[in-house]
Structure 1
């Protein structure tokens, strides 16, 4: 079974999932996110500030392993 971590923002109506089996912790999501939603913890990306998300989808595009799934980014 995949090691998928899920974060939800009720106020924004979005969900972000990160597959920690795929995540290599390179931090591309951290670098490209304009609102500091992500953070690397113990070598894996985590969603620290989901309520800051502006739904630009840069994280999904930047992830080299396609580990990020964002409900707004089809």
Structure 2
């Protein structure tokens, strides 16, 4: 882990350019950034929808079994 200090990448503008590209395309250029973005998408979108779907299917199955 870097504790600060001089950076050639910051001086040359590479870090800023990468940050700008990443913001424009909407995809993080670092592995950890991509992992975090995927994790947020799964926990909010897909898993929420999947949970609601499974609860509704389970409720439907119990309703059908109860009425037989």
TM over 0.5: no
With the length of structure 2 as denominator, give the TM-score of the two structures.
0.24
With the length of structure 1 as denominator, give the TM-score of the two structures.
0.23
| The structure with more strand, counted as a fraction of residues | 1
* Structure of greater relative contact order (alpha carbons < 8 Å, 6+ residues apart): 1
